[in-house]
Amino acid sequence: MGIHRGNRLAVVALATGVGLLAAGCSSSGSASTTTSTAATATTAAPAGGSAAPGVTATSVTVGVISSRSGVLAGYFGQFAPGMTAYFDALNAQGGVNGRTVNLAYNLDDGGSPSQFTQLTHTLIDQDHVFAVGAASPFFTPGYFAQSNTPTYGYNVTGNWSPYPNLYAAGGSVQDYSSATPTYAYFVKATHSKALALISYGPGIPSSYNACNTAATNLKAAGVNVSFVDVGAQLAGSFTSDVQRLQQSGSDALISCMQASDNVTLARDIQQYGLSVKQLWLNGYDQNLLNQYSSVMQGVYLSNAGNVPFGAAAYPSVYPGMAAYTAAMNKYEPQYTTSNVALAGWQSAALMVEGLRAVGKNLTQAAVVSATNQITADTAAQTQAPTNWTVAHVKVTHPACTSWVQVKGTSFVSVFSTGKQVFVCLGPDAKNPVPVPAPAGTPGA
Protein backbone atom coordinates (compact mmCIF):
# COMPACT_ATOMS: atom_id res chain seq x y z
CA MET A 1 0.00 0.00 0.00
CA GLY A 2 1.27 3.47 -0.60
CA ILE A 3 1.27 6.87 0.97
CA HIS A 4 3.01 10.02 -0.05
CA ARG A 5 4.58 11.48 3.06
CA GLY A 6 6.73 14.50 2.72
CA ASN A 7 8.69 14.11 -0.49
CA ARG A 8 8.57 10.37 -0.53
CA LEU A 9 6.35 7.42 -1.20
CA ALA A 10 6.00 5.22 1.84
CA VAL A 11 4.62 1.73 2.01
CA VAL A 12 2.51 0.68 4.93
CA ALA A 13 0.66 -2.25 6.39
CA LEU A 14 -2.48 -0.62 7.66
CA ALA A 15 -6.18 -1.38 7.67
CA THR A 16 -9.32 -0.05 9.21
CA GLY A 17 -10.66 -2.82 11.37
CA VAL A 18 -8.34 -5.38 9.77
CA GLY A 19 -4.77 -6.21 10.80
CA LEU A 20 -2.30 -6.68 7.96
CA LEU A 21 0.89 -8.66 8.19
CA ALA A 22 3.38 -7.82 5.45
CA ALA A 23 4.64 -11.20 4.34
CA GLY A 24 8.35 -11.63 4.06
CA CYS A 25 9.13 -8.99 6.68
CA SER A 26 11.02 -9.96 9.75
CA SER A 27 9.12 -10.16 13.01
CA SER A 28 10.17 -9.10 16.43
CA GLY A 29 9.53 -12.65 17.50
CA SER A 30 6.62 -12.75 19.92
CA ALA A 31 3.12 -12.95 18.53
CA SER A 32 1.47 -12.52 21.90
CA THR A 33 0.22 -9.22 23.22
CA THR A 34 2.75 -7.66 25.55
CA THR A 35 1.96 -5.03 28.10
CA SER A 36 4.16 -2.00 28.46
CA THR A 37 7.56 -2.69 29.93
CA ALA A 38 10.65 -0.58 30.44
CA ALA A 39 14.20 -1.54 29.67
CA THR A 40 16.74 -1.28 32.44
CA ALA A 41 17.58 2.40 32.91
CA THR A 42 17.87 5.02 35.54
CA THR A 43 14.87 7.24 35.90
CA ALA A 44 15.68 10.42 34.05
CA ALA A 45 15.02 13.27 36.46
CA PRO A 46 15.73 16.90 35.69
CA ALA A 47 19.39 17.57 36.50
CA GLY A 48 22.64 18.84 35.08
CA GLY A 49 21.51 22.42 34.61
CA SER A 50 18.37 21.51 32.65
CA ALA A 51 14.77 21.49 33.79
CA ALA A 52 13.74 19.32 30.85
CA PRO A 53 12.21 15.90 31.54
CA GLY A 54 14.44 12.96 30.77
CA VAL A 55 17.67 14.95 30.98
CA THR A 56 20.56 14.48 33.38
CA ALA A 57 24.07 15.86 33.26
CA THR A 58 25.20 12.80 31.30
CA SER A 59 22.16 11.40 29.51
CA VAL A 60 18.95 11.99 27.59
CA THR A 61 16.15 9.44 27.96
CA VAL A 62 13.66 8.71 25.19
CA GLY A 63 10.92 6.14 24.65
CA VAL A 64 9.23 4.38 21.76
CA ILE A 65 5.69 3.13 21.23
CA SER A 66 5.13 0.66 18.41
CA SER A 67 3.07 -2.39 17.55
CA ARG A 68 5.59 -5.03 18.58
CA SER A 69 3.09 -7.86 19.10
CA GLY A 70 -0.06 -8.98 17.36
CA VAL A 71 -0.56 -9.29 13.61
CA LEU A 72 1.10 -5.92 12.96
CA ALA A 73 4.35 -6.80 14.72
CA GLY A 74 6.11 -8.02 11.58
CA TYR A 75 5.89 -4.52 10.19
CA PHE A 76 5.77 -1.80 12.83
CA GLY A 77 7.95 -3.74 15.24
CA GLN A 78 10.93 -3.01 13.00
CA PHE A 79 10.95 0.71 13.83
CA ALA A 80 12.51 0.63 17.31
CA PRO A 81 15.55 -1.44 16.23
CA GLY A 82 16.51 1.33 13.80
CA MET A 83 16.43 3.93 16.58
CA THR A 84 18.29 1.60 18.93
CA ALA A 85 21.09 1.01 16.44
CA TYR A 86 21.53 4.74 15.84
CA PHE A 87 21.75 5.52 19.55
CA ASP A 88 24.09 2.59 20.20
CA ALA A 89 26.44 3.77 17.46
CA LEU A 90 26.21 7.37 18.71
CA ASN A 91 26.89 6.46 22.32
CA ALA A 92 29.86 4.32 21.33
CA GLN A 93 31.38 7.55 20.04
CA GLY A 94 30.61 9.52 23.18
CA GLY A 95 27.03 10.65 22.58
CA VAL A 96 26.05 14.23 21.75
CA ASN A 97 27.27 17.32 23.60
CA GLY A 98 28.58 15.16 26.44
CA ARG A 99 25.37 13.16 26.92
CA THR A 100 24.42 9.67 25.84
CA VAL A 101 20.98 9.17 24.32
CA ASN A 102 19.20 6.15 25.73
CA LEU A 103 16.12 4.43 24.40
CA ALA A 104 15.09 3.32 27.86
CA TYR A 105 11.44 2.48 27.20
CA ASN A 106 10.43 0.34 24.23
CA LEU A 107 6.68 -0.05 24.70
CA ASP A 108 4.25 -2.26 22.84
CA ASP A 109 0.69 -1.15 22.07
CA GLY A 110 -0.20 -4.74 21.21
CA GLY A 111 -2.16 -3.60 18.17
CA SER A 112 -4.65 -1.72 20.36
CA PRO A 113 -5.63 1.96 19.93
CA SER A 114 -6.59 2.31 23.60
CA GLN A 115 -3.25 0.81 24.64
CA PHE A 116 -1.44 3.30 22.42
CA THR A 117 -3.24 6.18 24.10
CA GLN A 118 -2.47 4.81 27.56
CA LEU A 119 1.20 4.35 26.75
CA THR A 120 1.42 7.91 25.45
CA HIS A 121 0.56 9.14 28.95
CA THR A 122 2.83 6.54 30.52
CA LEU A 123 5.90 7.76 28.66
CA ILE A 124 5.20 11.47 29.14
CA ASP A 125 3.61 11.63 32.60
CA GLN A 126 5.14 8.64 34.37
CA ASP A 127 8.46 7.92 32.68
CA HIS A 128 9.18 11.60 31.96
CA VAL A 129 10.97 10.99 28.69
CA PHE A 130 12.50 13.85 26.76
CA ALA A 131 11.26 12.65 23.37
CA VAL A 132 9.18 9.86 21.85
CA GLY A 133 9.45 7.67 18.76
CA ALA A 134 6.22 6.23 17.37
CA ALA A 135 5.31 3.65 14.74
CA SER A 136 1.73 2.51 15.02
CA PRO A 137 -1.44 2.52 12.91
CA PHE A 138 -3.12 3.95 16.02
CA PHE A 139 -0.96 7.05 16.37
CA THR A 140 -2.93 10.06 17.59
CA PRO A 141 -1.24 13.44 17.92
CA GLY A 142 -3.30 14.97 20.73
CA TYR A 143 -1.23 14.54 23.87
CA PHE A 144 2.11 14.72 22.06
CA ALA A 145 1.14 18.10 20.60
CA GLN A 146 -0.46 19.31 23.84
CA SER A 147 2.65 18.51 25.89
CA ASN A 148 5.02 19.82 23.19
CA THR A 149 7.00 16.59 23.43
CA PRO A 150 9.41 16.19 20.50
CA THR A 151 7.94 13.21 18.64
CA TYR A 152 9.49 11.34 15.73
CA GLY A 153 8.21 8.43 13.71
CA TYR A 154 6.62 6.61 10.84
CA ASN A 155 3.53 8.26 9.40
CA VAL A 156 0.78 5.86 8.36
CA THR A 157 -2.13 7.73 9.90
CA GLY A 158 -1.98 11.03 8.02
CA ASN A 159 -2.35 13.10 11.18
CA TRP A 160 1.22 14.18 11.93
CA SER A 161 0.57 17.51 10.24
CA PRO A 162 0.55 20.44 11.05
CA TYR A 163 1.93 20.09 14.60
CA PRO A 164 5.37 21.74 14.87
CA ASN A 165 6.77 19.18 17.34
CA LEU A 166 5.79 16.07 15.33
CA TYR A 167 8.38 14.84 12.83
CA ALA A 168 7.47 11.98 10.51
CA ALA A 169 10.47 10.57 8.65
CA GLY A 170 10.78 12.41 5.35
CA GLY A 171 8.12 15.02 6.15
CA SER A 172 4.86 15.08 8.07
CA VAL A 173 2.42 15.69 5.20
CA GLN A 174 0.70 12.94 3.24
CA ASP A 175 -0.13 14.17 -0.26
CA TYR A 176 -1.20 11.46 -2.67
CA SER A 177 -1.50 13.87 -5.61
CA SER A 178 2.13 14.90 -5.41
CA ALA A 179 3.13 11.33 -6.30
CA THR A 180 1.58 11.63 -9.76
CA PRO A 181 4.76 12.83 -11.54
CA THR A 182 6.62 9.86 -10.07
CA TYR A 183 4.12 7.39 -11.54
CA ALA A 184 4.04 9.25 -14.86
CA TYR A 185 7.81 9.06 -15.01
CA PHE A 186 7.66 5.28 -14.49
CA VAL A 187 5.32 4.98 -17.48
CA LYS A 188 7.63 7.15 -19.58
CA ALA A 189 10.87 5.49 -18.49
CA THR A 190 9.56 1.99 -19.22
CA HIS A 191 8.01 3.04 -22.56
CA SER A 192 4.68 1.68 -21.41
CA LYS A 193 1.54 2.23 -23.48
CA ALA A 194 -1.31 1.12 -21.21
CA LEU A 195 -1.25 1.36 -17.41
CA ALA A 196 -3.31 -0.62 -14.90
CA LEU A 197 -3.64 0.15 -11.18
CA ILE A 198 -4.76 -2.21 -8.40
CA SER A 199 -5.50 -1.44 -4.75
CA TYR A 200 -7.72 -2.52 -1.90
CA GLY A 201 -11.05 -0.83 -1.33
CA PRO A 202 -11.82 2.27 0.79
CA GLY A 203 -11.75 0.17 3.97
CA ILE A 204 -7.96 0.22 3.66
CA PRO A 205 -7.51 3.92 2.92
CA SER A 206 -3.73 4.00 2.61
CA SER A 207 -3.97 1.58 -0.32
CA TYR A 208 -7.19 2.90 -1.87
CA ASN A 209 -6.24 6.57 -1.73
CA ALA A 210 -2.84 5.98 -3.30
CA CYS A 211 -4.08 4.15 -6.39
CA ASN A 212 -7.44 5.89 -6.75
CA THR A 213 -5.82 9.33 -6.67
CA ALA A 214 -3.09 8.18 -9.04
CA ALA A 215 -5.58 6.79 -11.54
CA THR A 216 -7.58 10.03 -11.62
CA ASN A 217 -4.54 12.28 -11.88
CA LEU A 218 -2.69 10.16 -14.42
CA LYS A 219 -5.72 10.20 -16.72
CA ALA A 220 -5.79 13.99 -16.43
CA ALA A 221 -2.09 14.06 -17.28
CA GLY A 222 -2.70 12.16 -20.50
CA VAL A 223 -1.54 8.71 -19.44
CA ASN A 224 -3.49 5.85 -20.99
CA VAL A 225 -5.02 4.25 -17.89
CA SER A 226 -6.37 1.02 -19.32
CA PHE A 227 -7.70 -0.78 -16.23
CA VAL A 228 -8.34 0.16 -12.60
CA ASP A 229 -9.37 -2.08 -9.73
CA VAL A 230 -9.61 -0.15 -6.46
CA GLY A 231 -11.59 -2.83 -4.71
CA ALA A 232 -9.26 -5.83 -4.56
CA GLN A 233 -9.61 -8.14 -1.59
CA LEU A 234 -6.95 -8.47 1.05
CA ALA A 235 -5.31 -11.90 0.69
CA GLY A 236 -7.78 -12.62 -2.08
CA SER A 237 -7.62 -14.16 -5.52
CA PHE A 238 -6.31 -12.03 -8.39
CA THR A 239 -7.18 -14.31 -11.28
CA SER A 240 -9.93 -12.00 -12.51
CA ASP A 241 -7.56 -9.01 -12.32
CA VAL A 242 -5.00 -10.83 -14.43
CA GLN A 243 -7.68 -11.72 -16.97
CA ARG A 244 -8.72 -8.07 -17.15
CA LEU A 245 -5.08 -7.06 -17.51
CA GLN A 246 -4.89 -9.35 -20.50
CA GLN A 247 -8.18 -8.15 -22.01
CA SER A 248 -7.31 -4.46 -21.57
CA GLY A 249 -3.94 -4.82 -23.25
CA SER A 250 -2.16 -3.37 -20.22
CA ASP A 251 1.62 -3.54 -20.43
CA ALA A 252 2.33 -1.84 -17.09
CA LEU A 253 0.89 -2.12 -13.61
CA ILE A 254 1.07 -0.16 -10.36
CA SER A 255 0.12 -2.16 -7.27
CA CYS A 256 -0.80 -0.35 -4.06
CA MET A 257 -1.22 -3.62 -2.15
CA GLN A 258 0.85 -5.26 0.55
CA ALA A 259 3.85 -7.40 -0.32
CA SER A 260 2.24 -10.83 0.07
CA ASP A 261 -0.59 -9.93 -2.30
CA ASN A 262 1.89 -8.43 -4.76
CA VAL A 263 3.64 -11.80 -4.79
CA THR A 264 0.35 -13.62 -5.42
CA LEU A 265 -0.54 -11.21 -8.22
CA ALA A 266 2.90 -11.58 -9.80
CA ARG A 267 2.63 -15.36 -9.66
CA ASP A 268 -0.75 -15.23 -11.45
CA ILE A 269 0.68 -12.87 -14.09
CA GLN A 270 3.54 -15.30 -14.62
CA GLN A 271 1.22 -18.27 -14.89
CA TYR A 272 -0.87 -16.48 -17.56
CA GLY A 273 2.28 -15.72 -19.52
CA LEU A 274 1.68 -11.97 -19.57
CA SER A 275 4.43 -9.45 -20.18
CA VAL A 276 3.58 -6.66 -17.75
CA LYS A 277 6.02 -4.22 -16.19
CA GLN A 278 5.14 -4.14 -12.48
CA LEU A 279 5.70 -1.26 -10.05
CA TRP A 280 5.12 -2.26 -6.43
CA LEU A 281 4.73 0.28 -3.67
CA ASN A 282 5.45 -2.47 -1.15
CA GLY A 283 8.09 -5.18 -1.32
CA TYR A 284 11.53 -3.60 -1.10
CA ASP A 285 12.73 -6.23 1.34
CA GLN A 286 15.67 -8.57 0.82
CA ASN A 287 14.03 -11.28 2.92
CA LEU A 288 11.00 -11.18 0.62
CA LEU A 289 13.19 -11.37 -2.47
CA ASN A 290 15.18 -14.28 -1.06
CA GLN A 291 11.93 -16.20 -0.67
CA TYR A 292 10.17 -15.22 -3.90
CA SER A 293 12.91 -14.34 -6.38
CA SER A 294 11.40 -16.53 -9.09
CA VAL A 295 8.22 -14.43 -9.30
CA MET A 296 9.79 -11.04 -8.54
CA GLN A 297 12.17 -10.92 -11.50
CA GLY A 298 11.94 -7.56 -13.29
CA VAL A 299 9.68 -5.95 -10.67
CA TYR A 300 10.27 -2.22 -10.11
CA LEU A 301 10.02 -0.57 -6.72
CA SER A 302 9.98 3.11 -5.84
CA ASN A 303 12.17 3.69 -2.82
CA ALA A 304 10.98 7.29 -2.69
CA GLY A 305 13.30 9.69 -0.86
CA ASN A 306 15.49 7.00 0.71
CA VAL A 307 18.96 6.07 -0.40
CA PRO A 308 18.68 2.39 -1.43
CA PHE A 309 20.42 -0.18 0.71
CA GLY A 310 22.65 -1.24 -2.16
CA ALA A 311 24.32 2.18 -2.12
CA ALA A 312 26.30 1.04 0.92
CA ALA A 313 28.63 -0.55 -1.65
CA TYR A 314 29.82 3.00 -2.46
CA PRO A 315 30.86 4.37 0.94
CA SER A 316 32.73 7.33 -0.51
CA VAL A 317 29.56 8.49 -2.31
CA TYR A 318 26.96 7.33 0.21
CA PRO A 319 28.69 7.33 3.60
CA GLY A 320 25.34 7.63 5.38
CA MET A 321 24.01 4.35 4.02
CA ALA A 322 27.36 2.69 4.66
CA ALA A 323 27.20 3.86 8.30
CA TYR A 324 23.59 2.71 8.63
CA THR A 325 24.41 -0.73 7.24
CA ALA A 326 27.46 -1.17 9.45
CA ALA A 327 25.59 -0.15 12.61
CA MET A 328 22.56 -2.27 11.84
CA ASN A 329 24.71 -5.29 11.03
CA LYS A 330 26.43 -4.84 14.39
CA TYR A 331 23.52 -4.00 16.68
CA GLU A 332 20.27 -5.13 14.94
CA PRO A 333 21.26 -7.40 12.03
CA GLN A 334 17.81 -8.93 11.62
CA TYR A 335 16.45 -5.60 10.37
CA THR A 336 19.21 -4.15 8.22
CA THR A 337 17.20 -4.13 4.98
CA SER A 338 13.93 -2.97 6.50
CA ASN A 339 12.63 0.41 5.34
CA VAL A 340 10.75 0.70 8.64
CA ALA A 341 13.98 0.21 10.58
CA LEU A 342 15.54 2.83 8.31
CA ALA A 343 12.72 5.20 9.29
CA GLY A 344 13.64 4.55 12.93
CA TRP A 345 17.28 5.36 12.19
CA GLN A 346 16.24 8.53 10.35
CA SER A 347 14.01 9.58 13.24
CA ALA A 348 16.85 9.13 15.71
CA ALA A 349 19.20 11.07 13.45
CA LEU A 350 16.83 14.05 13.27
CA MET A 351 16.35 13.97 17.03
CA VAL A 352 20.10 14.07 17.60
CA GLU A 353 20.52 16.86 15.07
CA GLY A 354 18.13 18.94 17.16
CA LEU A 355 19.96 18.05 20.37
CA ARG A 356 23.29 18.96 18.79
CA ALA A 357 21.98 22.35 17.63
CA VAL A 358 20.73 23.32 21.10
CA GLY A 359 23.87 22.44 23.04
CA LYS A 360 24.19 21.67 26.74
CA ASN A 361 21.14 23.46 28.15
CA LEU A 362 18.42 21.26 26.74
CA THR A 363 14.73 22.04 26.72
CA GLN A 364 12.06 20.42 24.62
CA ALA A 365 10.93 23.77 23.23
CA ALA A 366 14.48 24.66 22.22
CA VAL A 367 14.93 21.36 20.35
CA VAL A 368 11.62 21.85 18.54
CA SER A 369 12.58 25.40 17.58
CA ALA A 370 16.05 24.40 16.38
CA THR A 371 14.75 21.44 14.38
CA ASN A 372 12.19 23.61 12.63
CA GLN A 373 15.01 25.76 11.31
CA ILE A 374 16.65 22.82 9.49
CA THR A 375 16.25 23.35 5.75
CA ALA A 376 18.00 20.22 4.45
CA ASP A 377 17.53 17.26 6.78
CA THR A 378 19.14 14.23 5.16
CA ALA A 379 18.88 12.02 8.28
CA ALA A 380 22.62 11.41 8.43
CA GLN A 381 22.86 11.21 4.63
CA THR A 382 20.28 8.44 4.17
CA GLN A 383 17.51 10.43 2.44
CA ALA A 384 16.86 13.29 0.06
CA PRO A 385 16.66 16.63 1.92
CA THR A 386 13.58 17.53 3.95
CA ASN A 387 12.96 21.22 4.68
CA TRP A 388 11.50 21.36 8.20
CA THR A 389 10.65 25.04 7.89
CA VAL A 390 7.71 23.89 5.73
CA ALA A 391 7.58 20.08 5.98
CA HIS A 392 4.88 20.17 8.68
CA VAL A 393 2.38 21.73 6.28
CA LYS A 394 3.25 21.08 2.65
CA VAL A 395 5.14 18.97 0.14
CA THR A 396 7.84 20.68 -1.86
CA HIS A 397 9.44 19.97 -5.22
CA PRO A 398 11.56 18.67 -6.72
CA ALA A 399 10.75 15.31 -5.18
CA CYS A 400 13.54 12.75 -5.44
CA THR A 401 12.98 9.02 -5.88
CA SER A 402 15.47 6.18 -5.92
CA TRP A 403 14.25 3.41 -8.19
CA VAL A 404 15.28 -0.22 -7.92
CA GLN A 405 14.50 -3.28 -10.03
CA VAL A 406 14.79 -6.93 -9.17
CA LYS A 407 17.57 -8.63 -11.08
CA GLY A 408 18.47 -12.10 -9.90
CA THR A 409 18.65 -11.98 -6.11
CA SER A 410 19.37 -8.25 -5.90
CA PHE A 411 17.62 -4.90 -6.02
CA VAL A 412 19.52 -2.88 -8.61
CA SER A 413 19.28 0.90 -9.05
CA VAL A 414 17.65 1.92 -12.34
CA PHE A 415 16.68 5.07 -14.28
CA SER A 416 19.47 7.11 -12.67
CA THR A 417 22.95 7.65 -14.10
CA GLY A 418 26.36 6.65 -12.79
CA LYS A 419 26.46 6.24 -9.02
CA GLN A 420 23.67 8.77 -8.49
CA VAL A 421 20.63 6.87 -7.22
CA PHE A 422 18.00 9.62 -7.26
CA VAL A 423 15.73 10.83 -10.04
CA CYS A 424 14.26 14.21 -9.08
CA LEU A 425 11.07 15.57 -10.62
CA GLY A 426 9.09 18.77 -10.53
CA PRO A 427 5.29 18.92 -10.16
CA ASP A 428 4.50 18.51 -13.88
CA ALA A 429 2.99 15.06 -14.47
CA LYS A 430 2.30 15.71 -18.17
CA ASN A 431 5.99 16.04 -18.93
CA PRO A 432 7.94 14.36 -16.11
CA VAL A 433 11.50 15.38 -16.94
CA PRO A 434 14.30 14.86 -14.39
CA VAL A 435 15.74 18.01 -12.87
CA PRO A 436 18.93 18.56 -10.86
CA ALA A 437 18.88 17.22 -7.32
CA PRO A 438 18.54 19.86 -4.57
CA ALA A 439 21.68 20.95 -2.81
CA GLY A 440 22.69 18.47 -0.13
CA THR A 441 21.08 15.45 -1.75
CA PRO A 442 23.24 12.38 -1.05
CA GLY A 443 25.30 11.48 -4.08
CA ALA A 444 24.65 14.80 -5.82
Q: 240 and 201 in one domain?
A: yes
C-beta separation of 219 from 250 below 8 A: no
CA distance 282 to 23: 10
Instruction: Encode pLDDT of 83-134 as tens digits.
Output: 999 999 999 999 999 999 999 999 999 989 999 999 999 999 999 999 999 9
Evaluate whether residue 436 is within a structural domain. Answer: no
pLDDT(16) > 80? no
Q: Which of 256, 407, 411 is nearest to 321 (CA)?
A: 411
Q: 244 and 96 in one domain?
A: no
Band of pLDDT at residue 11, cut at 50, 70 and 90: very low
Q: 138 and 61 in one domain?
A: yes
Instruction: Encode pLDDT of 344-401 as tens digits.
Output: 999 999 999 999 999 999 999 999 999 999 999 999 999 999 999 999 999 999 999 9
CA distance 304 to 4: 9
Evaluate whether residue 300 is within a structural domain. Answer: yes
Q: 61 and 18 in one domain?
A: no
Residue 415 neighbours by CB under 8 Å, 6+ apart: 185, 189, 403, 423
Instruction: Encode pLDDT of 318-360 as tens digits.
Output: 999 999 999 999 999 999 999 999 999 999 999 999 999 999 9
Q: 193 and 274 in one domain?
A: yes
Evaluate whether residue 328 is within a structural domain. Answer: yes
Instruction: Encode pLDDT of 195-214 as tens digits.
Output: 999 999 998 888 999 999 99
Instruction: Encode pLDDT of 245-288 as tens digits.
Output: 999 999 999 999 999 999 999 999 999 999 999 999 999 989 89
pLDDT(23) > 50? no
Residues linked to residue 64 through DSSP beta bridges, in sequence order: 106, 133
Q: How many domains does the chain have?
A: 2
Higher pLDDT: 84 or 72? It is 84
Instruction: Encode pLDDT of 25-34 as tens digits.
Output: 332 333 233 3
Band of pLDDT at residue 1, cut at 50, 70 and 90: very low
Band of pLDDT at residue 50, cut at 50, 70 and 90: low
C-beta separation of 298 from 372 below 8 A: no
pLDDT(146) > 80? yes
Evaluate whether residue 421 is within a structural domain. Answer: yes
C-beta separation of 81 from 334 below 8 A: yes
Evaluate whether residue 18 is within a structural domain. Answer: yes
Q: 419 and 290 in one domain?
A: yes
**Which alpha helices (H) appear in 311-404, and where do they start and end?**
319-331, 339-358, 364-371
CATH number assigned to the domain comprising residue 72: 3.40.50.2300
Question: Which residue type does 99 have?
Answer: R
**What is the pLDDT, as a whole number, of residue 418?**
86
Band of pLDDT at residue 73, cut at 50, 70 and 90: confident
**What is the pLDDT, as a whole number, of residue 10?**
41
Evaluate whether residue 5 is within a structural domain. Answer: yes
**Which alpha helices (H) appear in 359-395, and where do they start and end?**
364-371
The residue segments making up the domain with residue 145 are 43-170+322-371
Q: Which of 303, 317, 301, 310 is nearest to 381 (CA)?
A: 317
Instruction: Encode pLDDT of 298-319 as tens digits.
Output: 999 999 999 999 999 999 999 9
- Residue 100 DSSP SS3: strand
What percent of the chain has pLDDT above 90? 81
Evaluate whether residue 437 is within a structural domain. Answer: no
Q: 67 and 101 in one domain?
A: yes
Q: 157 and 262 in one domain?
A: no
Q: 407 and 291 in one domain?
A: yes
CA distance 58 to 85: 19
**What is the pLDDT, as a whole number, of residue 287?**
87
Q: 332 and 270 in one domain?
A: no
Q: 339 and 419 in one domain?
A: no
Q: 279 and 203 in one domain?
A: yes
Evaluate whether residue 32 is within a structural domain. Answer: no
**What is the pLDDT, as a whole number, of residue 118?**
97
